[in-house]
Structure 1
Amino acid sequence: MNKNILKGMVIGFSLILLSIIGMYLGLTYYYGEGFSYGTWVNGIYCTGKSVNQINEELLSEMDYQGLTITAGDSKSYVILPEDISLRLDYTKALELYLERQNPYLWIDNLIGKGGEKELSPEVLYDPAAFEKILKESPFFQEENKYGQKDDSEYRVAIEKGEKGYYLINERVHVFEEEKAREAIEEAIETLQETLDLEEEGCYLDLALTEEMKQTIALFEKLDAYQDCRIVYLFGEEQVPVDSGVACDFVLLDEAGKPVLDEDGNLMTDEEKISAFIDRLGEEYDTVGGVRQFQATRGEIVTVEGGIYGNKLDREAEKEYLLNAFLEKREELHTPSYTQMARCQGKDDIGTTYIEVDMTNQMMYYYVDGKLEIETPVVTGNTSLRRGTPEGTNYVYNKQRNRVLRGEDYATPVKYWIPVKGAIGIHDASWRSRYGGEIYKTNGSHGCINTPLEEVSKLYDMVEIGTPCVMFY
């Protein structure tokens, strides 16, 4: 090859190389004052931008909603950014990255991935506000905190409350406040969205003594014993025999401690079961009781006495409950009665009944709440002390063409509807007028004299067992 041509090629190549080197060094100098070519931070292109510009862009992409703190499934609490005046700033991280960036390696960003960087912001917040928020959280209000007392003072004990026996165990799930504080601080500073204090180990269990283990074992027996699922039904009313009731069935010694049999099982105090049934009887037995009754005349009257109502078969129920409880039955139970009203429960009259207003001398008959009969009547002669007794009674029989007999009378009637002993509702063919104040001087011997047409309708409609509410 011609030497001149070779020399020219060398000179040309050298000039090109020098030009490339010069351009490279020129760009190196240019990028030496800022981020190198192809620099990306957290997905933001940074070449040619100032630290402040990039900081603002990065912050605009942030959407931190705060920290949700939980402890298993028990409770949760949210710390919002504004609660602690939380602020984020990438300035220091950007300046440090810029300082460490080698301007001579800008070519690496062009041909590789050297310009992609993930940076974390500086997290700033008000320490006083942070501490206040922690103290207000349910976790830092825990009564059972570690370090408040000597380890031996964290107790295990059995107590009794409205819902039965319960265990106080201060040695489990003891809250470690300092550990939780550190975990929350770290979570805030690393912008975590959730933090489970259980998983972070912020609760601990203290060792148990032998006596404590025995207490826990006894409680487990009590808890199983008082677990009762029997529900008494009194009409629409329900009375559960739950742990708050069954806890009283445990036999206790003179010191008030549960008594165990030779097999280590809790013993039952049958007298306590009997006492519970007696209380049910006192509450739901209505025969001869006092009732508040909404009278047709527009007022609530007090009606006391009478033969109508429910009366619990206490002996049968004591036997039932003892067996059902010991067998751990789970059932809805309708009790046995020695006497049953048309309805059970405290409101045993229902919506079908006879009402005798002896002050106004009126009788009413309601069927399913609808007034079917309204008639004046004549009741017992009060001037001769034969006034019809008040009370809640019931139709216990019905007869046609009956002769009513007393010491000084024998009176035939077409319709006889007895409601209490010899007192009943019947026709009175000898009367032409009813109502008013006839009863005060010319009343009956105690029965409810009723116009023939009305008593005949009542006779056909009323059923045996229908309550009859009688009052002045």
Structure 2
Amino acid sequence: MNKQTKIIGILLLVLVVMLGGVYFYQRNFFTTHFLPKTYANNTDISELTVAQAEKKMLERNKSQVYEIKEGKEVIETLPKESLGIHYDFRDDLKKAMKQQKPSRWFLDSRQKKQLILTNHNLNEQELQTQLNQLKEKLDKINEERQPAQNASIEKTEVGFEIKPEVNGTAIDTGEVMAALTKSIQAGESTLDVSHFVHQPTVKANDPKLKEKLTQLEKISNQTVSYTLSGEKIDVPKETVTSWFIYNPESQEIDIDQEATKAYLASLGQKYNTSTNPTKFKSTKRGEVTVPAGTYSWTLAVDTEAAALREDLLAGNSVNRVPAFQGSAPAGAPLIGNTYIEIDMSNQHMYFYKNGKLELETDIVSGKPTTPTPHGVFYVWDKVKDTTLRGTNDDGSKYASPVDYWMPIDWTGVGIHDSPWQPAYGGQLWETIGSHGCINTPPSLAGNLFNAVEVGTPVLVF
């Protein structure tokens, strides 16, 4: 071996020793430090210890923000720390350090490594405070924005029409708050609120909406006519139209029962014979006004309103006598051409049948202390050979046998023969008047009894 070869050998040995030293030094170094080209959440932590890497990441996170965007525009920037996000990377960094292979440092150092660390704590109270403040800001923004409105059917003065949809610009803050909470918990850094600006789901050309409009137009064109006391009452078309209700949410058509009841009540107030007096053309005194009595009717508002609703929703026009309660029919005039007329001023009674005077006679009505009630009554029963009982003015009892008895009200007043009366007519009622009944001459009482049918109106005035 010559001298030159020996020198080369020594140099190679020194180089190997040096390289070995470097290798083992680096291997030992990277047991406590991260390899080159190591990044954690986009932060370069190359050749840093766990403590150094954590410190660097925490310092970097202090400057991190959460952006609230609307499209490309940033409408709010919030420091993540203010959202209650508190990171703790130590355990994850230690775990990443253990997964390194220091013995391969010379190979792994050439490759970029990106660690994704998500270990953090969330302070719910701090987060909620920021969310409340953000919601206030979004609500203020919404004050100048338009919520989306679906196309709908609206009532006009003449019918119904489709109101076009309105595109929305308002932000659904409730959905934003929920999405933001979820996004922050997932460690994200941005949220685009434009995804929470809703648009109409029902347009003016919606087939179902058009179908409902056609249906509404059809049924709201129905006519409603009532007959009361012989008079036909045509309900104005605009009134009928106003009764229809369209619910855009359920797309259901209904009738406003309060409105129909109010209208029917107004008819009752005008036409009810149970509360309104009856004008009557008397035999001797011309037109007289007779108070309401037992022969009358009352419009049944609730019953008729329910029937009206059913008819209109079925698309049926209405032309009828409305539902009523009472002893008289509501459709015809209360007094036709068959009735008993009792003229108290003239103390005279008339019986008309089919417009022809069948019988007339003087009578004796109730005395001043027990006057005969005025009103429109009716013969509700006919009884032969009965005894009328009651109390005299002095408190004593009386019992009066009669051959013919026709009660006309519910208090015991009626028409009967009175053989005890010496005469009839004039002012006799003031001195020998009855207890309220219509005393009739026995010679005519039987004829009247046989001619009059139960249900015959009796006008006392």
2:81 alignment partner in structure 1: none
Q: Report the Cα offset of residue 314 of structure 1.
A: 2.8
Q: Give the alignment partner of residue 224 of structure 1, picking from 218, 225, 230.
A: 218
1:305 alignment partner in structure 2: 292
**Is the alpha carbon distance of 1:367 and 1:268 closer, same or farther for their aligned partners in structure 2, counting shifts above 3 Å?**
same
Q: Give the alignment partner of residue 360 of structure 1, picking from 346, 359, 363.
A: 346
Residues 349, 361 of structure 2: 8 Å contact kept: yes
Q: Structure 2, unaligned stretches of length 5 or more?
A: 1-153, 162-202, 392-396
Residues 311, 340 of structure 1: 8 Å contact kept: no
Rounded to whole Å, the distance in 2 between the matches of 1:288 and 1:365 is: 25
2:269 alignment partner in structure 1: 282
Rounded to whole Å, the distance in 2 between the matches of 1:298 and 1:415 is: 29
Residues 401, 413 of structure 1: 8 Å contact kept: yes
Q: Give the alignment partner of residue 323 of structure 1, picking from 297, 306, 310.
A: 310
2:232 alignment partner in structure 1: 238
Q: Give the alignment partner of residue 406 of structure 2, picking from 401, 417, 420.
A: 417
Give deviations 1:340-383, integer Å, cap 9, x for gaps: 41x5347311111001011110000011111111100000001x
Identity, % of aligned positions: 34
Residues 243, 260 of structure 2: 8 Å contact kept: yes
Give deviations 1:379-401, integer Å, cap 9, x for gaps: 0001xx21111111110100001
Q: Report the Cα offset of residue 319 of structure 1.
A: 1.7
Residues 377, 448 of structure 1: 8 Å contact kept: yes
2:377 alignment partner in structure 1: 393
AA aligned to 1:435 is: G
Rounded to whole Å, the distance in 1 between the matches of 2:263 and 2:223 is: 16
Given the alignment of the two structures, is residue 431 of structure 1 paired with residue 418 of structure 2, yes or no?
no
Rounded to whole Å, the distance in 1 between the matches of 2:292 and 2:299 is: 17
Residues 219, 314 of structure 2: 8 Å contact kept: no
Rounded to whole Å, the distance in 1 between the matches of 2:451 and 2:261 is: 42
AA aligned to 1:260 is: P
**Is the alpha carbon distance of 1:261 and 1:350 closer, same or farther for their aligned partners in structure 2, counting shifts above 3 Å?**
farther
Rounded to whole Å, the distance in 2 between the matches of 1:232 and 1:435 is: 44
AA aligned to 1:360 is: N
Rounded to whole Å, the distance in 2 between the matches of 1:317 and 1:158 is: 24
AA aligned to 1:429 is: P
2:441 alignment partner in structure 1: 451
**Is the alpha carbon distance of 1:267 and 1:334 closer, same or farther for their aligned partners in structure 2, counting shifts above 3 Å?**
closer
Q: Give the alignment partner of residue 273 of structure 1, picking from 260, 266, 273.
A: 260
Residues 219, 312 of structure 2: 8 Å contact kept: no
1:380 alignment partner in structure 2: 366
Rounded to whole Å, the distance in 2 between the matches of 1:361 and 1:397 is: 23
Given the alignment of the two structures, is residue 369 of structure 1 paired with residue 355 of structure 2, yes or no?
yes
Rounded to whole Å, the distance in 1 between the matches of 2:449 and 2:280 is: 24
Give deviations 1:420-472, integer Å, cap 9, x for gaps: 1200000011112100000012100100000112211110011111110001x
Rounded to whole Å, the distance in 2 between the matches of 1:433 and 1:398 is: 24
- Larger Cα-atom Rg: 2
Q: Structure 1, unaligned stretches of length 5 or more?
A: 1-156, 168-210, 252-257
1:403 alignment partner in structure 2: 387
Rounded to whole Å, the distance in 2 between the matches of 1:291 and 1:236 is: 13
1:349 alignment partner in structure 2: 335
Residues 260, 267 of structure 1: 8 Å contact kept: no
Partner of 1:239: helix, strand, or coil?
Answer: strand
Matched pairs, number = 260
**Is the alpha carbon distance of 1:290 and 1:331 closer, same or farther for their aligned partners in structure 2, counting shifts above 3 Å?**
closer
Give deviations 1:28-52, integer Å, cap 9, x for gaps: xxxxxxxxxxxxxxxxxxxxxxxxx
